[in-house]
Amino acid sequence: MKEIRGNVIVGQSGGPTAVINSSLVGVYKTAKDRGANIVYGMLHGIQGLLENRVVDLSGHIKSDLDIELLKRTPSSYLGSCRYKLPEIQEDQEIYKKIFKILDDMEIEYFFYIGGNDSMDTIKKLSDYSILNGSRIRFMGVPKTIDNDLAATDHTPGYGSAAKYIGSITKEVIRDGLVYDQQSVTMIEIMGRNAGWLTGAAALAKCEDCEGPDMIFLPEIPFNIEDFMKKVAKLHERKKSVVVAISEGIRVEDGRYVCELTDNVDYVDAFGHRQLTGAARFLAGRIARDTGCKTRAIEFSSLQRCASHMVSRVDITEAYQVGGAAVKAAFEGETGKMVILKRISDDPYICVTDIYDVHKIANIEKKVPREWINEEGDYVTEAFLSYIRPLIQAELTPIMADGLPRHLYCQDHRNE
């Protein structure tokens, strides 16, 4: 007989991934299967919770088909937020408000699916809970395409983004071969400080594709003059040159390459300039200096929302970390995040564990120097051995009338 449990609440926070909803399903299904009473969802994370914007998920996930659709639905089904809680000692009012809301809903278990900043939320809420004798348990469920979370081997969301980047990099390289003329294609990939996503472009290198010619990660300072010389050298032996760069590459003095542009189009009313345009800047520089045909391609937000091309390994693990969080919380854990521990690369074996969220929050994991070649313009075979198992197998979209079908959230209105 199932033990009867109290109520559960789950939220999604930070930037979305293509598989973040698979973790939502993992939390929901596991909680229900293990006897949870009501499983609530916060609309737009903690920000929505503060406005009492919550839904009963059983009204949303009503069938096995709903579950399959939700797994294939990109972006955060419940909506997301970027909301940073104050330090507990600075302002207790907001904590009192949150716990009042949770108590009124008779919540016993709180799950937050997110990255670094979201784990900071879990850390603070669980600390406050312990300090104030609350029974509510707080667990973090890892998620980020950036793969920059500490303690875990990798993060759900990364494998699918990497698979997408590898796949379309192959297509872009093939497209670059079409004309018999010198050209440079600059591909700009997400990742402000960590090059995990940009390095995934190296996956394109296989029997039927040369792969990109150079890959520049934000971990290594970028030298524009060296880069120009390397492109010229490549052009001595091949016509179509393809280079993958991270949006976050910086020159030696610390300025982002995308900040070197004269382009003032993209400055908002507060003077904020969006940090995109490094590929465009470098493509322009090559075109001006050499007359060579260039193009700049930004993979843009498609990297995090291409649910039509996800890794089955990733979507399965995303589900598993959701389930493992519920299991751990129901067994009494709090203030922890689920992590993935790799047992072996080949065969790929990976299990879940839990880890103190205090040692995870606000820490950014970068690509190790030894996984980047000495020249600083490619990733090594060790990097590829790490990433390859994460992109394996597919979860085919459910197509309706020629397009991938998603689960539509009625309560998550755009108004």
Residue 177, interface with a second copy (CB under 8 A)? yes
Residue in the block written with tokens 């872009």: 172
Residue from the set 32, 170, 250, 365 that interacts with a second copy by CB under 8 A: 170
Residue 174, interface with a second copy (CB under 8 A)? yes
> 83 vs 128, which CB is nearer to a second copy?
83
Query: Which residues in 90-156 belong to E strands, given as ranges?
Result: 107-114, 137-142
Q: Beta 399-400 vs 403-404: how paired, if at all?
A: antiparallel
Residue from the set 66, 68, 153, 175 that interacts with a second copy by CB under 8 A: 175
Token couple for 124: 């603070």
Residue 391, interface with a second copy (CB under 8 A)? yes
Beta pairing partners, 188: 245, 298
Residue 263, interface with a second copy (CB under 8 A)? yes
How far, in Å, CA of 299 to CA of 177, rounded? 19
Q: Beta 54-56 vs 39-42: how paired, if at all?
A: antiparallel
Largest CA distance in the chain: 74
Give the shortest CB-26-to-a second copy separation in angstroms.
19
Is residue 100 within 8 Å of residue 50, measured between CB atoms? no
Residue in the block written with tokens 């793969």: 147
Q: List all residues 6 or more positions away from 314 whose beta carbon is below 8 Å from its beta carbon.
A: 19, 156, 157, 158, 159, 160, 163, 390, 391
Residue from the set 23, 116, 240, 320 that interacts with a second copy by CB under 8 A: 240
Residue 388, interface with a second copy (CB under 8 A)? yes
Q: Which residue in the list 127, 146, 148, 213 is annotated as catalytic?
A: 146
Residue 401, interface with a second copy (CB under 8 A)? yes
How far, in Å, CA of 254 to CA of 403, rounded? 44
Residue 306, interface with a second copy (CB under 8 A)? yes
Give the shortest CB-212-to-a second copy separation in angstroms.
12
Phi-psi region of 25 (alpha: psi -120 to 50; beta: other; left: phi over 0): alpha
Task: Kindly state the DSSP code that residue 58 receives in the 8-state scheme.
Answer: G
Give the shortest CB-410-to-a second copy separation in angstroms.
11
Give the shortest CB-208-to-a second copy separation in angstroms.
4
Give the shortest CB-355-to-a second copy separation in angstroms.
27
Peptide bond into 347 cis (omega under 30): yes
Residue 63, interface with a second copy (CB under 8 A)? no
Phi, psi of 186 (to 5 degrees): -105, 120
Residue from the set 269, 332, 344, 346 that interacts with a second copy by CB under 8 A: 269
> 39 vs 305, which CB is nearer to a second copy?
305
How far, in Å, CA of 236 to CA of 224, rounded? 19
Of residues 1-60, which lie at the interface with a second copy (CB under 8 A)? 15-16, 43-44, 47-48
Give the shortest CB-318-to-a second copy separation in angstroms.
16
> 47 vs 380, which CB is nearer to a second copy?
47
Residue 71, interface with a second copy (CB under 8 A)? no
Residue 210, interface with a second copy (CB under 8 A)? yes
Of residues 114-153, which lie at the interface with a second copy (CB under 8 A)? none
> 1 vs 178, which CB is nearer to a second copy?
178
Q: List all residues 6 or more positions away from 362 whose beta carbon is below 8 Å from its beta carbon.
A: 116, 117, 119, 120
91 labelled catalytic: no
Residue from the set 293, 327, 342, 358 that interacts with a second copy by CB under 8 A: 293
Neighbours of 408 (CB within 10 A): 10
Q: Which stretch binds a second copy (CB under 8 A): 125-133, 144-152, 300-308, 336-344?
A: 300-308
- Kindly write out the interface string for residues 338-377 of this chain, putting x where it contacts a second copy by CB under 8 A and - elsewhere: ----------------------------------------
> 47 vs 193, which CB is nearer to a second copy?
47
CA–CA–CA angle 388, 26, 310 (5° rounding):
35
- Give catalytic residues, as residue numbers: 146
